[in-house]
Amino acid sequence: MTQRYGIKIVGTGSYVPSRVLTNAELEKMVDTTDEWIRTRTGIEERHIAADNEPCSALAEQACLRALEAAGMTPEEVDLIIVATFTADAPLPNTACFVQKRIGATNAVCFSMEAACSGFVYAMTVAAGLLRSGGFRNALVVGSEKISSMVDWTDRNTCVLFGDGAGAVVLKRVDAAHDSLRAFKLGADGRYTDLLQCPAGGSAMPVTPEVLAGHLNTIKMEGREVFKLAVNAMVGASQDVLKQGGVSIDQVRWVIPHQANMRIISSVGKYLGVPDEKVYVNLQRYGNTSAASIPLALDELARSGQIKDGDHLVLTAFGGGLTWGAILLKW
Ligand code: COA
């Protein structure tokens, strides 16, 4: 069957809460140093949402900005997909809260859990639905309030994460103008233990014992995750370049999930792409999981650093394990 429709990004938006948590402040909270955090991760500061700012509130601001950039009203949105692992609540899904906040009364809404790969997964799913002809446009959002799931006594994890949201408006276009040139998604459930929040779901509901043991917070085997992350992002990126018939030299930006500077540098090195083509903003935000790629995309788009026709590779990796890459032609 020949493809009739494609997709195009017609607006981007992002939001980070105003409260900034610096490495110097973390030095007073756990046994760490600014120097350790900078040299091992590249992170200098991160933003932390207020108590009255759940995941959907961060998403709301990013969505409103993306809609404004697209010149669209909330009522015109057909579909909202929110990628997050820090949902407002187990029920209902966070996309419905976002719908209510922005007044997107005509949208179909659901959320997706693929941790830090969530935005790449959600973009792929949204593109599939738009290409099928059933929807004309979509808000695809990555939004995370990770501060609500961090164990603030665990130096191995609490220094890494931050809160924020990013969104794009996708529009259905003719197949000839399709921006989504290729995608590659992957998952390996053998590694569920490497990056997880053990309690708070149906396997281990929250009890006083769970709370005392901090089991409702993020646990991670950092070193193992590191190795797998580099291989998976490099492999997925090479796959989409091959599928799209685009060489790495033709790529304007590689936009990797912002987890750790050393992971990002390794991905750039193995792909053979110079540092100036690899977008990095994690020094200001830390790891914002599903929000990191749309946040980066919005910064690049708003600062005029992406031009029509530019090739972009978005690549991510996260708990699950999950990973993926997308080749876009802007
Ligand atoms: N401050 C000071 N010391 C710390 C610390 C902190 N915040 N966190 C860990 N350490 C210590 C460890 O306890 C360990 O001490 P030990 O040798 O006495 O046991 C030492 O630093 C080295 O730990 P190690 O795990 O070897 O460090 P590393 O070089 O692997 O860096 C990470 C740790 C977490 C930064 C790194 O493994 C990483 O980035 N992994 C990927 C994590 C990630 O991005 N996950 C999300 C994917 S989406």
Ligand 1 pocket (Cβ < 6 Å) reads 32, 36-37, 40-41, 116, 155-156, 159, 220, 222-223, 225-226, 229, 259-260, 287, 317-318
Write out the two tokens for 280.
Answer: 């990095």
Provide CB contacts within 8 A for 155, sequence distance 6+. Answer: 30, 31, 32
Provide CB contacts within 8 A for 270, sequence distance 6+. Answer: 230, 234
Mutate to test the pocket of ligand 1, among 28, 86, 223 (most ligand atoms within 8 A of CB): 223
Reduced to 3 states (helix: H, G, I; strand: E, B; else coil), residue 125 is helix
The domains spanning 5-177 and 180-329 adopt the same CATH topology: yes
Cα(191)–Cα(260) distance, integer angstroms: 20
Tokens 């790529």 map to which residue? Answer: 251
Decide if 124 contacts 183 (C-beta within 8 A).
Answer: yes
Mutate to test the pocket of ligand 1, among 154, 226, 266 (most ligand atoms within 8 A of CB): 226
Which listed residue (55, 116, 158, 197) is catalytic?
Answer: 116
Cα(280)–Cα(207) distance, integer angstroms: 40
**DSSP secondary-structure letter at 203?**
S
Q: What spacing in Å lies between the alpha carbon of 223 and ligand 1's midpoint?
A: 7
pLDDT at 2: 79
Rounded to the nearest 10 degrees, the angle between the axes of helix 261-271 and helix 34-41 is: 20
Provide CB contacts within 8 A for 223, sequence distance 6+. Answer: none
CA 95 to chain centre: 15
Mean pLDDT by 10 residues, the chain (330 residues): 90 98 98 97 98 98 98 98 97 98 98 97 98 96 98 96 98 96 98 96 95 96 92 98 97 98 97 97 98 98 96 98 98
Cα(232)–Cα(300) distance, integer angstroms: 24
Q: Whose CA is nearest to atom 27 of ligand 1?
A: 223
Q: What spacing in Å lies between the alpha carbon of 40 and ligand 1's midpoint?
A: 7
Q: Whose CA is nearest to atom 48 of ligand 1?
A: 318
CA-based R_g, the chain, Å: 19
Residue 260 is among the residues annotated as catalytic for this protein: no
Q: What CATH topology corresponds to 180-329?
A: Peroxisomal Thiolase; Chain A, domain 1 (3.40.47)
Q: What spacing in Å lies between the alpha carbon of 3 and ligand 1's midpoint?
A: 46
Residue 216 is among the residues annotated as catalytic for this protein: no
Provide CB contacts within 8 A for 276, sequence distance 6+. Answer: none
Q: Whose CA is nearest to atom 24 of ligand 1?
A: 223
**Residue of 165, 148, 151, 155 lying closest to 12 (CA atoms):** 165
State how beta strands 322-329 and 311-318 pair.
Answer: antiparallel
Tokens 């690049």 map to which residue? Answer: 300
CATH of domain 5-177: 3.40.47.10
Write out the two tokens for 189.
Answer: 């459930």
Decide if 5 contacts 30 (C-beta within 8 A).
Answer: no
Phi-psi region of 277 (alpha: psi -120 to 50; beta: other; left: phi over 0): alpha
Domain range summary for the chain, segments of one domain joined by +? 5-177, 180-329
pLDDT at 1: 63
Cα(202)–Cα(247) distance, integer angstroms: 45
**Residue of 71, 67, 94, 99 lying closest to 83 (CA atoms):** 94
Residue 281 is among the residues annotated as catalytic for this protein: no
The counts of H helices and E strands in the chain are: 11, 13
Q: Whose CA is nearest to atom 26 of ligand 1?
A: 223
Q: What spacing in Å lies between the alpha carbon of 222 and ligand 1's midpoint?
A: 6
Which listed residue (93, 216, 260, 287) is catalytic?
Answer: 287
Write out the two tokens for 150.
Answer: 């961090």
φ, ψ (nearest 5 deg) of residue 67: -65, -40
